[in-house]
A and B are shown apart, each in its own frame.
Chain A
Amino acid sequence: MAKRLSSVDDLNKFREAAQSKLAERAKKIEVKVHLGTCGIAGGAKFVQDAFVKEVKSLKLTNVVITEAACIGPCEREPVVTVVHPQMGRVIYAEVTPEQVPNIVEQHLIKGQVVKEWLLDLESPTFKLQNIRIMHNQDMDPQSIEEYIARDGYQGLAKAVTKMQPQEVIDEITKAGLRGRGGAGFPTGTKWSFVRRAVGDEKFVVCNGDEGDPGAYMNRAVLEGNPHSIIEGMAIGAYAIGNVRRGYAYIRAEYPLAIQTFNNALAQARQLGLLGKNILGTNFEFDLSVFPGAGAFVCGEETALLASIEGKRGNPRQRPPFPANKGLLDKPTTLNNVETWSNVPQIIHNGAAWFASAGSERCKGTKTFCLVGKVNNSGLIEVPLSTPLGQIVFDIGGGIPDGKKFKAVQIGGPSGGCIPIGHLNTPVDYEAVTALGAIMGSGGLIVMDENNCMVDVAKFFLQFTRDESCGKCTPCRAGIPKMLEILTKITQGKGSMEDLAVLSELAEMVGSASLCGLGQTAPNPVLSTLRHFRDEYEAHIIDKHCPAAVCQPLFRAPCQHTCPVELDCPGYVALIKEGKYAEAYKLIRQRLPFPMSVGRVCDHPCEVKCRRAQVDESISIRDLKRMAADYAYEHGVEFVPPMKPRKPERVAIIGAGPAGLTAAYELAREGYNVTVFEALPVAGGMMAVAIPEYRLPKKVLKAEIDSILKLGVELKLNTRVNDVDSLFKEGYKAVFISCGAHKGDKMGIPGENVEGVYDAIDFLRELSLGKKPKVGKRVAVVGGGNSAIDAARSAVRQGAEEVHILYRRERRDMPAIDEEIEAAENEGIHIDCLVAPTKVLSENGKVTGLECVRMELKGFDSSGRRTPSPLSGPEYTYPLTVDTVIEAIGQRPDTSFMKDGVKVAKGGTITADPRTLATDKPGVFAGGDAVTGPKTVIWAVAAGQRAATSIKRYLQGKPLSPFVERDGYEPIAVSQIAPTEEEVKERARIQASEIESKERKSSYKEIVLAFRPNEAREEASRCLRCDLEVGGEE
């Protein structure tokens, strides 16, 4: 049994002994298996056993196997650190027992690190962290020797022998330590309240009742560094005075934490660091663990204290505050695990050291649990006020599977979300609160585009509903009511009045509830209402869940996500059975351009495909093309149902996909439709922007012809100059779908010389058969689809070297991924983080571009990092080119809109997004002209929306947000779910492509349609989500 340490000298001697013991050990190779709860759950014990067995069987005497706590990368458990006396420290992640012999053989024996299994300690994930609270996580938490060897209990020794209690409090105040439980109350101030409170007996309590879903920072510290908490509490007890007992309230779901903590207590008592006459002084203090039964509300201080008293864990109204009347009505200070854990280091290293991290208002570091839709999920420690975007994208490594980031829920169920527009927010108490969230104890749940924010609010309310103690009415009854309203909304039964009731109720519950639980429980509702009101409105008005999460609103996520709600599961199932003609007809019921869309669609459906959770999404687009091509080749006729002719005439401006779709639908309704097109061809961007190698003209023409066959009048080369004249000519309604054909300018010097093209003009000229002059070296500026199309077309026009200059990173490029890859395959250079600053020219002809290298700085409101030019001559370079194609954006040419239709700043027409009505009666607008450049399927959807609105307008009915697509005969689809064999993991089938040699020299279509057997095989991968019986609701 160890001897009591009865003076600071004793402690220092003990430290020296422990240090030399560790130094001795450091001469050997140390294999540390990280055995936190997460590690054990990941199988770390088996890994440890495997190491022991292997080392034993190979009789490796220079290897010691030790244990340590969780160091953070929870997603990649089990984690093993190897410290080699010569080679230093490396960390292996996702170690399996099977890998162990290899690591032993390669690393421990041969001295060769197995690189592919290592954690990259040089990555931003680790470099941007600042490890202070977790600085002991790599030592054996069961050993007080190791703690003391690392200067443990030096803070306590300093406090009780060299400092007056008030000095200790002053030091904490000076350091600026704030409560890490979430509220951020200054710890020094709290302690002085308790110190000043009258009472001959006072208590210190550690709040280890960590209950937020997805938060386990405190568990890691309790398991990994228990002595820091014990020491912190002892220092606090000394500073406050009259404290002889403390309690650590640790939830019983943390058995390892309780065991570790109790072990630490026993060791500290044995060494006399707890008990009477600590380190030979008169200071007396002891503490014990109180296991909490796992009620979230017991994280509330008054409830926690009631729980320790053996009562029902209900909070009580303050005042009186625990600082005056706490545990057993005695003055009590209650601090979070992390707060206590900071104390010893502050006393030992001084306030200035602590304040060196963090910001002016918020000093020190903070641990966070970074979880959810993030690549590197786990435990991190960063200085307070680190920008949120840095945490998510640099430390967290961004969003998996290239999905779009949506928001971070911070502060758990009591917190709120911070949306994409606020990624520059410094994560600290004030900044987070200003956005309607709270710091909380440190849970960060990352959410992507596949998270429905109404559903997220529902999830957290379910939690707080069940965890409310039930004492006060607003919390007990208000949370279930809010949840009932949210449920109603997610079922598509909500009304806009519900939103008003909901926000009023949320405000009341937050204001009138008794304790922090109720006061903060509405935060998820209030903050999603604040930042994502559009999603609520989509659920209520459109009966649409944009993230395709709220099951009662749809049959299958693919269909729900498709702007025209194509019955994807239906036609996929028909293709699986070989019923290609039926599949085609089913598609045609909602889409007049199946062949075109089947080729060029950006397929949002595939983004939400649930098959992707098994392996990869279904090739929904290619299957559609297969069915459409099959029908075309086999002469399958689709005759849409037609209604009797009506007398009214409708004018449509622009023969793009939006205009033509509207014409088609209105003609079906029996109206007399005239489409005015300024260009000599119909098809809009489909005809004049998408190159032939993606969409052959023959295909497009066939589809346009089938529309014109319904009696639609098409007037080519006819520019409409004002809308009013159309009404004068007798048209009863007008649909403006003129597209966005005007290219944006870079706005740099020298732009107006020969050889500088606008991508849209360039592509249009190409498709109209004119031959724009392309030199040998071409620079395309921009990262969208037009840029890729222009670049690939330039190659086909004979360019030898084509550079795409993009100012952000490749992953930020808005173009379709497949297209970018195809461009690269064709030898096109993609120069990222570059921006042109000047067009160089000689004799009025382009000779080059002056470019500057860019760096990405803070986040803009779209959540992307803002590119900013690097200053300094070394970052500027000339690029020799003879052709420059600008593809940085398009906007509609609305110069003809001189008669009172409202136009927005960017030139887009202002129309109601649901009904497409402009503020001029009888005038509707849609497609790129309203939204700016978007893909074909969105234009088709706008055309259908416009047709419904115009029909209702002409019939004198109120406009509706719902597109009417009636009159079609149902097509029977198999109701058989996929077999187990079909569900088994297998890759999606790639459509074949033509030889790459052939590509660069011609505009021949590159991607080929699925062959029937390929199509059936691919279709058989569909999980048939549409057959699933809805979830709990």
Chain B
Amino acid sequence: MSDRKEITLTINGNQVKGKEGDTVLEVCRANNIYVPTLCFLEGLSTIGACRLCVVEIQGERRINPSCTYPARDGLVVTTHTPNLEKYRRLILELIFTERNHFCFFCAASGDCELQSQAYRYQMDHARYPYTFPALPTDTLNDFLVIDHNRCILCGRCVRVCAEVVGDHTLDFSRRGWRTLVVADLNQSLGQSSCISCGACLQACPTGAIFSKVSAYRGRTSEGKITRSACSLCGVGCETDVLVKDNNIVRIDGANLTGLKGQLCLMGRFQQVYNETPRVTTPLIRNKKGNLEPASWEDASKLISDKIKDYKARQGASSIAGLVSSLCPSETLEAFSGFMRNTVGTSYIDTLDGSSYRTIAEGISAFSKNGKGLRIESSLESILDADCVLVVGSNPLESHPVAGCYILRAKTQKKASIIVVDSRPNTFGFRADVWLRPNAGSEEALLGALEGLVAKKTKSAEKSMRFVSVAKAVEATGLGKDTIQKAAAMLSTAKNPVVVYGEGVFTAKNPKLVARVLDLAKLASHDGLKVISLKPKGNSRGAWELGIASQNGMAKAKPSMVYVLMSDDKFEMGDWVAPVDQAEFVVVQASYRSPLTDCADVVLPSPIWAERKGKYVSLDGKVGNSHKVVEPPSGIKDDVEVIAKIAKGI
């Protein structure tokens, strides 16, 4: 960007600097010259629709919107004249009388760009007859409401949906005064292709799109915004969390139109209003077999004692530690240090450890150079892809922002999308080719694709063993044409990216991972572009700490298990069996779950918002999550708790 030529303009009589390629509005903003806007949103295409930013440009017959007008050297611009200000006010009056803008019961009141423009222009009344249209309100989405009565048709939602989210669910229907924002072919949002990421909500300058979980819970001015990072899925989105009275009101993308700014329904909505019952005090199973509240002292002493007891009686290896990869790196480190050093056991694993081992083995089978997870590329590489192969994953469900990147590549780079998954996968409907092989035949399919791609691109390495198309057809149950079509897409792509995920991990077949990597290598022209969609927000952080390196739990038959769940959700997994068989189970968790119900001691744990810490994203970038609210009284930080128990041993 810095290599753009500097230009000089005259704005309102002053010489100001800009860069070639800027619009007049960009130059104004860069020079602190305020020009009102409504349809403009930085990072989106400019359309010059609202006409608030109109300016006078010397030599132009008409007034022009500054948001679209290219700045050039020597341009003479006037942004404020009595006439322009009159027009702006008239336009505001038009907007206010066009639909039903009643600020006093609007969810956006106080956070509304239209309202603040009206204040700026002292719009005490409108002189036009009010139209009072009776427009519908779409409430069928779980999180979002579109109230068309408050819509000013600026198109920011439409553009953010198309350009940033890549989904292009929203667009305009009809025309003129009848124009309405609609989803798909006029579906209700809840029944449309909408992925409920909420980018439209954040883009909306008024209260036309509002969030069911945030509405009326507080205005920006009433609370405090803290920059944080979402720790849910490993994409690592930066967030701005608005907190009022120790309650989270709203979560926004820190940079909506920048990278990872759109967030997803998990990061934006699901965490704001969570009704899952919390563990608020330590619990100890009493003689009657019921869990009853206990003091921190009693609970931690009991745990310390039990550890000492088992260590003395059965040795340190009778104790195992399990930790969720949702925990920040600091907690993970503390826990692994505690288990390895204080307890002295080597039986330690993350809850998603088997996924790691599948990936790691696959990578070492593919390449012995020891780069491990570092052979993977960044998520942003998807945006430049012209072909995306998705294996065993529905990114829009597991890592929605990564899924959006694929959609953006599809709409903006005309990328073709191939989905390989034997499971039901709705992402297949968005693919150009959806290969759904018989369960277990994925390897054969990938082998056949390798063969076809290698034939077209370059001679294969000797180590590779391709599968003939005929064999693949037999094994997968797919048609020959379909396989060939997918292979053709891969081999003609200049910049293909391969994404794989939980479908590959659950198969626990490292060879499959190796096949994925081989195929990516064959198809690539400049370096391998592979991304694994790791299960949890800090999986990569946990794995890099070596917590999941050994296949501990498979061999272990522990008598005591210490599970640090934190705010992870209980899911059945490989790790459940040893827990089930253990004599004494400690669960440290934020939420009540079947696991806490069967534990002997339960310790409360803070949730993401109540702690701070580092997270490593799935492509290896470190993010900082911040404490935005105080935990309920009695809940202590996980690291502190572990330290206390350690002290007792």
Binding site for B on A (CB under 8 A): 295, 297, 312, 316-317, 319-320, 465-474, 476-481, 484-485, 488, 497, 501, 504-505, 508, 511-514, 519
Contacts and interface: CB of A to CB of B under 8 A. Distances in A.
B54 A481 contact: no
- Sorted from nearest, which 3 A-B pairs have the closest CB atoms? A470-B179, A317-B48, A468-B176
Given A477-B98, A508-B86, A316 B131 contact: no
B65 interface: yes
B176 A476 contact: yes
10 contacts: A297-B175, A319-B69, A467-B176, A468-B175, A471-B49, A473-B152, A477-B95, A477-B177, A480-B98, A513-B51
Contacts of A467: 175-176
B176 A470 contact: yes
Contacts of A505: 90, 94, 128
B479 to A, nearest CB: 30
A479 B131 CA distance: 12
Given A508-B90, A508-B91, A481 B175 contact: no
A790 B411 CA distance: 87
A470 B177 contact: yes
Interface string B73-104: 00000000000001100110011011000000
B178 interface: yes
Contacts of B95: 473, 477
Interface string B46-58: 0111110010000
Given A316-B47, A317-B65, A501 B127 contact: yes
B129 interface: yes
Centre residue among B86, B87, B174 by max chain A CB count within 10 A: B87
B527 interface: no
Nearest to A313: B175
Nearest to A517: B176
Contact of B175 (A469, A485, A504): A469
Given A481-B94, A501-B127, A476 B51 contact: no
Centre residue among A295, A504, A508 by max chain B CB count within 10 A: A508
B70 interface: yes
Contacts of B406: none
Contacts of A316: 47-48
Contacts of A508: 86-87, 90-91
Contact of A514 (B48, B91, B155): B48
B346 interface: no
B171 to A, nearest CB: 7
A77 B20 CA distance: 61
Given A477-B97, A512-B54, 11 more contacts: A297-B175, A317-B64, A317-B65, A465-B176, A469-B175, A469-B179, A470-B179, A473-B153, A476-B176, A477-B95, A481-B97
Contacts of B97: 477, 481
Contacts of B54: 512
Contacts of A476: 98, 153, 176-177, 179
Interface string B108-132: 0000000000000000000111010
A512 B175 contact: no
Contacts of B174: 470
B288 interface: no
B94 A466 contact: no
Nearest to B94: A477
Nearest to A502: B128
A474 B51 contact: yes
Contacts, number: 109
Nearest to B179: A470
A521 to B, nearest CB: 11
Interface in B531-567: none
Is chain A's binding surface mostly helix, strand, loop or mixed?
Answer: helix
Contacts of A295: 175
A465 B177 contact: yes
Contacts of B47: 316-317, 471
Contacts of A320: 70
A312 B127 contact: no
Contacts of A471: 47, 49, 153, 155
Interface of B: 47-51, 54, 62-65, 68-70, 86-87, 90-91, 94-95, 97-98, 127-129, 131, 152-153, 155, 171-172, 174-179
A493 to B, nearest CB: 10
A514 B176 CA distance: 13
Given A473-B51, A484-B128, A479 B91 contact: no
Given A317-B65, A469-B176, A477-B98, A511 B87 contact: yes
A317 B68 contact: yes
B126 to A, nearest CB: 10
B93 to A, nearest CB: 9
Contacts of A485: 128-129
Contacts of B172: 312, 470
Nearest to A319: B70
A946 B447 CA distance: 104
A504 B131 CA distance: 19
Contacts of A474: 51, 91, 94
A472 B69 contact: no
A759 B513 CA distance: 114
B129 A470 contact: no
B381 to A, nearest CB: 26
A936 B87 CA distance: 51
A514 B46 CA distance: 13
Contacts of B48: 316-317, 472, 514
Centre residue among A295, A481, A504, A519 by max chain B CB count within 10 A: A481
A473 B179 CA distance: 12
Given A468-B175, A468-B176, A473-B95, A480 B131 contact: yes
A665 B474 CA distance: 108
A480 B65 CA distance: 22
A683 to B, nearest CB: 51
Contacts of A514: 48-49, 51, 65
B129 A484 contact: yes
A519 B131 CA distance: 22
A478 B49 contact: no
Nearest to B65: A317
Contacts of A497: 127
Nearest to A500: B127
Centre residue among A317, A473, A501 by max chain B CB count within 10 A: A473
A319 B70 CA distance: 8
Contacts of A511: 62-63, 87
A512 B128 contact: no
A478 B129 contact: no
Nearest to B92: A473
A623 to B, nearest CB: 43
B128 A312 contact: no
